């Protein structure tokens, strides 16, 4: 029922939800780009429900305060303390090791503001867990949200990032001026 409602709501708002043909992997790191607005969470959650993807996503722990903490967790949220080094990459790799089904959503920029590039945590998690990347987009220009492709990483950071950049070419966030360039920060 939630799946149908989500598809209907997005359609009423003029949005289309899509996923590439073929089987969906049971485990993957899903990256969403460009992340330029709080509205990305709204469209992303409803696209997730519409696809029946059950994506878990990381967000800073301050967003998990009362009265919304329980709701945030039920919607798939995983609180992350960004004020301290807590070895999140290792923790997430361990989660993949103990779960048969796990889709972990990450925004590579780590913020809605423009940065000089992408953090590499998503890449290190996918390689360490030996799972594919799901290339997800919320494209405001086309009014579409979904998964563009599933790709396996080769281990060559620059070559893999160039392939990811090709898949995101022409995709526009709500505030295009805030989209970070697709290049490594670290």
DSSP secondary structure of 111-149: SSS--SSB-SHHHHHHHHHT-PEEEEEEETTTTEEEEEE
pLDDT at 10 over 90: yes
pLDDT at 75 over 90: no
114-134 confidence digits (pLDDT tens):
889 999 999 999 999 999 999
Backbone angles phi, psi at 176, to 5 degrees: -55, -30
pLDDT at 102 over 90: yes
Query: What pLDDT is attached to residue 84?
Result: 74
Query: Do 178 and 36 contact (CB within 8 A), yes or no?
Result: yes
Cα-based distances in Å from 143 to 45, 67, 86: 15, 31, 37
pLDDT band at 139 (very low <50, low <70, confident <90, very high): very high
Question: Average pLDDT of the chain?
Answer: 92
């Amino acid at each position: 029922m939630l799946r149908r409602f989500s598809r209907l709501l997005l359609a009423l708002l003029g949005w289309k939800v899509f996923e590439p043909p073929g089987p969906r992997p049971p485990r993957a790191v899903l990256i969403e780009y460009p992340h330029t607005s709080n509205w990305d969470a709204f469209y992303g959650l409803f696209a997730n429900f519409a696809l029946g993807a059950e994506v878990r996503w990381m967000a800073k722990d301050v967003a998990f305060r009362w009265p919304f903490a329980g709701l945030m967790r039920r919607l798939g949220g995983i609180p992350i303390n960004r004020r301290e080094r807590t070895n999140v990459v290792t923790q997430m790799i361990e989660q993949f090791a103990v779960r048969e089904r796990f889709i972990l959503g990450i925004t590579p920029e780590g913020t809605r503001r423009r940065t000089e590039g992408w953090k590499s945590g998503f890449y290190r998690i996918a390689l360490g867990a030996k799972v594919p990347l799901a290339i997800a987009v919320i494209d405001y220009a086309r009014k579409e949200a979904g998964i563009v492709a599933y790709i396996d990483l080769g281990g060559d950071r620059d070559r893999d990032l160039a392939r990811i950049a090709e898949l995101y070419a022409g995709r526009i966030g709500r505030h295009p001026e805030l989209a970070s360039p697709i290049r490594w920060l670290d």
